[in-house]
Structure 1
Amino acid sequence: MKKNTAWSKAYLIFMFVVLYAPIFYLMFYSFNSGGTMNDFESFTLDWYKELFQDTRLLIIVLNTIIIALLSAAISTVIGVLGAIAIVSMKKRIVQNTLLSFNNVLIVSPDVIIGASFLILFTMLGIKLGFMSVLLSHIAFSIPIVVIMVLPKLQGMSTSLIDAARDLGASQWDVFSKVILPYISPGVFAGFFLALTYSLDDFAVTFFVTGNGFSTLSVEIYSLARRGISLNINALSTLLFLLTVILVLGYYFITQRNNRSTGWGARK
C-alpha cells in the first residue's frame, strides 16, 4: 500500500512538473533584459513597461475582459434556466435527450464549432467582430454552466419547493428564495468556468474574429508567428496570473458558501 502511495505521489509530481515547468520558464524569461529565451542576463521590467505602453494591446485586453464578463454573465443566466428546464421535464427520456445535446457541444472539437459559427454568421449576414465573438462565447459557455448547475438541482429535495408553495410562496419567490440560494455554488462555479473558458479560448474566436477586432488569445498567436518576443512572455504571465486569481476567487467563494451552509445546518 505504501509503495503504491509513493508511486502515486511521484506520478503526481511528474505531471505537475510537465504541466507547470514550461509556464514558469516562460514567466522567468519575461524578466530577462537580454531579449531572448536562451541566456538570462539581468532582471528587468522593460517588457512589462513596453506592454503597458502599447495602446492597441490595452484595447485588446479591454475587449477580452468585456467579452469574457458579458458572455459569462449571459451564459450563466441562460444556463441556469436551461438546467431548471431539464430537471423539470417529467419524462426521463426527454431529460436524457436534452442532456445529451448539451454534452455534445462540450465534447465537440473547437475547430468544428468555430467553423460552424463562421458559416452561420456568414449566412445570416452578421459582420464578424465584437458581436460574433460575444455570441460564440455565450453559445459554448452555456453547456458548461448547465453541467455545473444540474447536479445541485438534482440533489435538491422537492420537499423544499413543496413546503414553500404550501406557505404561499409565488413562483418567483420559490425560484429566488429557495432554488437560487441552494444552487448558488453551482452558479458561481459555472460563471467562473465560463469566464475562464472565454478568456483563453482561441480556436472558436479565431474563426469568428473580423478585421479591427481581436482578443488576447488571437493576438498572442499573431505575435508568436512573427518570432520570439519577450512581450509575449510578459503578456502570457499576466494572463496566467489573472487565471490564478479567478481560480482562487472561486475557491474562497465556494469555501465561504460551504461554511455558511454548514453553519445554517448546525443552527
Structure 2
Amino acid sequence: MDRKLSPVSKLYLAVIFFILYAPILFLIFYSFNSGDTMYDFKGFTLDWYKELFQDTRLLIIVLNTIVVALLAALISTMIGVLGALAIHMARKRNTKNALLSLNNVLIVSPDVIIGASFLILFTMAGIKLGFYSVLLSHIAFCIPIVVLMVLPKLSEMSPSLIDAARDLGASGWDVFSKVIIPYISPGIFAGFFMALTYSFDDFAVTFFVTGNGFSTLSVEIYSLARRGISLHINALSALLFLFTMLLVVVYYFISKRNKPNGMGVGK
C-alpha cells in the first residue's frame, strides 16, 4: 500500500532538493546578468548567450564532447549487454561472482587511477592522445555501468521464456533478438543513458588522456575557470542543464512505455 509522507519527511525532501538545485539555479540566474560578475545583478541580458554561440572553438568542443559521449554510450551498451549475458549465463556460482566482482572493481576504482593507467597504456602502445584515446577510455569505464543496469533485468527473466521459444523452433539468434533483447530493453536504455551521462561529464579520466589538439567540455571549462570565471560559462552550463533534463524526460517516457501494464497477456 502507498504510504503518505509525513510533514517532517516533506520538509526534509524540500531541504535536500533546495541544497542540490540552489547552486544550479543561482548559476543559471546570473547567466542573464548584464554585469560581469556573479556578485551583483545589474539587469537582464542575453549577451552572454550571443557570445557563447559566437565562440566557434567552444562550440566545436561541445560537438566533440557530444560525439564522444554518444559513441562511447552506444559501443559500451553493445559490449555491456554481451558482458551481462556472459555473467548471467555462467554456470558456476563462483565464476559468476568473480566476474561480477571484477566488473564492480572498475566502478569503485578512483578516476585518477583509471586515467593514469590509460595514459601509461596509450603511451606504451604508441597511441596518440586525442579523440581515439578519449573514446576508448570512455568506452572502458562505461561498460561496467551498462553491465550493472542490464543484469537485474536478466535475473528477472524466467528461463521458461527461452525454453518456450526453443520448443517453438526458434533459433539461437531468434531467441536472442526476439525474446531476450525485448525483455531486457528497459535495462539497455537505462545503461545507455547512464553511460551517456557518465561520458558527458567525466573530467578526471579525460584530463589524463586528452591531447593538445583535442579537448572535451569538462576539461575546457576547468581551464577557463582557472583563468577567471566568465558569465558565458554560466550560459553554457544553463544549456547543458536543459540538455540533461531533456535526456531525463526522454528516458522517463521510454521507461514508461516499456513498463508492463500489469494486465494479462491474453485469454
TM-score computed with the length of structure 2 as normaliser: 0.96
Change in Cα spacing, 1:220 to 1:148, as seen in structure 2 (3 Å) is same
2:125 partner amino acid: L
Give 1:140 deviation, angstroms: 0.5
Give 1:263 deviation, angstroms: 6.8
Give 1:6 deviation, angstroms: 2.8
Hey, what does 1:192 align to over in structure 2? 193
* Structure 2, unpaired ranges of 5+: none
Hey, what does 2:175 align to over in structure 1? 174
Q: How big is each residue's C-alpha offset from its partner over 1:3-59, in whole Å with a ceiling of 9 and x where there is no partner?
A: x93332222211111111011000000000111111111111110111011111111
What do you get for the CA RMSD once the two structures are aligned?
A: 1.4
The answer to whether structure 1 residue 134 and structure 2 residue 135 are counterparts is: yes
Matches within 5 A, 1:63-74: 63-74=64-75
Matches within 5 A, 1:1-267: 5-258=6-259, 261-262=260-261, 265-267=264-266
1:69 partner amino acid: L
**More displaced 10-residue stretch of structure 1: 19-28 or 6-15:** 6-15
Q: Percent identity?
A: 76
**C-alpha distance in 1 between matches for 2:96 and 2:154:** 13
1:130 partner amino acid: F
1:26 partner amino acid: L
Give 1:264 deviation, angstroms: 6.7
2:143 partner amino acid: I
**C-alpha distance in 2 between matches for 1:251 and 1:231:** 30
* Structure 1, unpaired ranges of 5+: none
Change in Cα spacing, 1:265 to 1:213, as seen in structure 2 (3 Å) is farther
1:152 partner amino acid: K
Q: How big is each residue's C-alpha offset from its partner over 1:204-262, in whole Å with a ceiling of 9 and x where there is no partner?
A: 1111101010011111111111112101101111111111111111011000111xx32
Give 1:61 deviation, angstroms: 0.9
Give 1:108 deviation, angstroms: 1.0
**C-alpha distance in 1 between matches for 2:86 and 2:70:** 24
1:262 partner amino acid: N
1:120 partner amino acid: L
1:247 partner amino acid: V
**C-alpha distance in 2 between matches for 1:73 and 1:111:** 24
**C-alpha distance in 1 between matches for 2:264 and 2:92:** 33
2:236 partner amino acid: L
Q: How big is each residue's C-alpha offset from its partner over 1:140-191, in whole Å with a ceiling of 9 and x where there is no partner?
A: 0000000000000011000100111111111100000000000000000000
